[in-house]
A and B are shown apart, each in its own frame.
Chain A
């Protein structure tokens, strides 16, 4: 089961709630790690596996929303499920806009939480896979010469070899050589494949 390689993190300052969530999540066979505060979570060594953070929106010293922002700023990508004792609409909107998976109001249906956890883990797994693919493509992209790079960019824009040669001031045959080399380096099976690859590379988050 792929889920065995995932983990659920819980941050809640209420020990009783923490304990209850720990028991519930474990009861469905998911590994779980609970924390009393954001600091504890940040200081912990987390395995690099698909994971989800169940976060109480009211935390001692810092609010859950602030923490969410801090994580984003620190480029720590993890799906977040907010739980709150008394939520309000603006708060949940903010949370969802900032990328929260779910916003659950206490007392919540446990199935809702569990569904959200599964969904979040799934998303995280997908994200991780995609990121892994992009990483491969990026490695391949690094092999391209600047000229090949230029040619690929123009090909993806739909330009013909002739147009490209005119643009670059070279022979059409030279363009063809560059194009086939680039296809080779990128391990693209077809033009459509290359276009898809470039699109993916361009969609990666800017740093």
Chain B
């Protein structure tokens, strides 16, 4: 018997419990699976999936619940009011629909999760408690408020977790199935836990039998049927979902493939387009900037397109020549026959170049090198270049060339030219007449055959060295004349340059200097003779001085000797004085011998001997020779000799002669000076070119008329002079590679300056 107010003790059929959990897991899996489908589907398909999924899932949840209810065994018969059961099923399906809808949306934030979770939990809780309300049993159902609340909270938590999981797992990935299985197990367990918590919240107190209208009892067979049917529905849902998923995946793969191909083709097209654009730009730029006229003529011969160069050159613009009343052909080719010929050329478009005479807008007629090129669509391309200037230059060049040849051939000199490779490219007629050879034999290196073998080497060295340095050269060599005689020629070569400044080779001119050389040789011989004569004359002038120079020491010798005799003869003999006098006599004898030695060198007629000469020594030697002359002339002599003077290469005696000459001239120039000191300053210094010697006097100086002539032969300002001194001095200095010049002194007199190159 069952006592009232005592709760009925329920027990669970655990196999039913296990089945219910299985259903929960299956339903969960189906739910997760379906979420993915709903997500990928669109439009009506989505609605179909949503509703179908909701039904399958709702049935699953409901079946689990109902199974759980059936697993609960009470010691009283329990029946179910089936309309209520049906209502709970509907609630389950609705809750599922909400869940699927929420989980399949684009995004899932906390708000969506919470809202969806609460709605879904309400659905599930509603379904649960409606399902319990369908129980018909002789007892009153009492609920524990705490557990009910707990179960609802549980439902909310579960729902939210389920939604988040479903959202998370809706995408198809490699690990989706195992993860879904795991999630489904957890969810199933959670659903079951919620359910059994809800069950635990209810206790049953025996009461009067219930109203059993519309109530049915569930037989074990029905129970099983329900279980199987549920699984079938769920299985069907999963299978359908799976098949659809595969189909969908395949479709997606194809779509992706298609998209990839489209993208690929798009890229290819873009590349092609880019290339085309670039090419177009390149051709456009060429068309606009090339200094060549380009015109596109349509098949009727009308100007379709012209480039700026054409407009610039011809003077018309494209717009202007399109005016109907302007015939550009008539403008450009006023001559009808010529015009016809040009049109013929256009029609032929033979791609051959022709020179056209074109009248431009301002009336000038220009030369155009032109061609017409046929295009595939029947139009043709005119390509032309203004060559007026070039033609004119060419003509001028030809004219200039002809003029040059005329001048060169009629010039009284031999002219040759060489190119940048040193080889000769031209010889004028006088050259060919001289050598008596044909131009072919002279060209290149042929001319060298005519050069005297002894001169060839130095000739080539001079030519090649100067050529490489691009320096002007001047050389003399013997060249064989047509009659076989070798004649001396002076050859002066200068580098020549193109108008742009680039090196073009050499041009040279030669003259026969044989006669000149002979005359020069004769002149040199005469000068040599004269130089000797002049030296003798100078020596004559110097005789008095020289005699004095020798007599002076001799007098001292004799006097000293005599004195020593007297000292010895005195009583008693003064030996110290006698010895001193004898020593003095010996010194003076040496001095006399030195004078003789110097004179001898001066008087020798020796060929020029080049040796390293110390110019300061030369100055001292000469000053010793002219010592008396300076004293007699009342000349105060001062020297400023630079120490460390480099030596010069020269003939000592000749240089002495030059200096002797300059000093004697200075003395002579000062002889009439009474109102100021007679001073002679002799300086030596290092000069940029070598060694500089200056002889500066305070004499009568040079008047400009004399200054220009003093170096001339036979010009003299002295009554007894022969006018050779300075002339010879200059030739001596120049033979030493130096210079001799005269200029007025700082206040009075004259300065003679000798510059000698220092010894290499």
Contacts and interface: CB of A to CB of B under 8 A. Distances in A.
Nearest to B634: A61
A20 B559 contact: yes
Interface stretch (A22-30, A123-131, A133-141, A144-152): A22-30
A53 B628 CA distance: 22
B638 interface: no
A40 to B, nearest CB: 15
B491 interface: no
Contacts, number: 102
Interface stretch (A71-79, A105-113, A164-172, A187-195): A105-113
Q: How large is the interface on B (under 10, 10 to 19, 20 to 34, 35 or more residues)?
A: 35 or more
Contact of B591 (A16, A28, A62, A63): A16
A13 B581 contact: no
Interface string B543-557: 010011101111111
Nearest to B574: A27
Interface string A14-43: 101101110110111100000000000000
Contacts of B565: 27
Interface of A: 13-14, 16-17, 19-21, 23-24, 26-29, 58-63, 83-86, 105-111, 113
Given A20-B556, A24-B559, A58 B631 contact: yes
Top 5 closest pairs, chain A to chain B, by CB: A85-B548, A27-B566, A110-B562, A20-B559, A106-B555
A155 B548 CA distance: 59
A58 B548 CA distance: 10
The interface centre, meaning the residue of A27, A58, A60, A105 with most chain B CB atoms within 10 A of its CB, is A27
Interface of B: 544, 547-549, 551-560, 562-567, 570, 574, 577, 580-581, 584-585, 587-588, 591, 628, 631-632, 634, 636
A26 B632 CA distance: 29
A19, A21, A29 pick with most chain B CB within 10 angstroms: A19
B320 to A, nearest CB: 104
A86 B588 contact: no
Given A16-B588, A17-B559, 13 more contacts: A14-B556, A16-B584, A16-B591, A19-B560, A20-B560, A26-B577, A58-B628, A59-B631, A85-B547, A85-B555, A105-B551, A106-B548, A106-B551
Nearest to A19: B584
A192 B427 CA distance: 117
A23 B548 contact: no
B513 to A, nearest CB: 51
The secondary-structure label for the interface of chain B is helix
A113 B70 CA distance: 187
Contacts of A107: 551, 554-555, 557-559
A83 B552 CA distance: 10
Contacts of A26: 563, 577
Nearest to B587: A16
A27 B556 contact: no
A17 B556 contact: yes
Nearest to A63: B632
A62 B552 contact: no
B360 to A, nearest CB: 95
Nearest to A111: B562
A27 B547 contact: no
Contacts of A24: 559-560, 562-563, 566, 581
B566 A28 contact: yes
Contacts of A109: 558
B678 to A, nearest CB: 9
Contacts of A19: 556, 560, 584
Contacts of B567: 23, 27
A38 B585 CA distance: 25
26 contacts: A17-B552, A17-B556, A20-B560, A20-B585, A23-B563, A23-B567, A23-B584, A27-B563, A27-B567, A27-B570, A27-B574, A29-B570, A58-B631, A58-B632, A60-B631, A61-B634, A63-B632, A63-B634, A105-B551, A106-B552, A107-B558, A108-B558, A109-B558, A110-B558, A110-B562, A110-B563
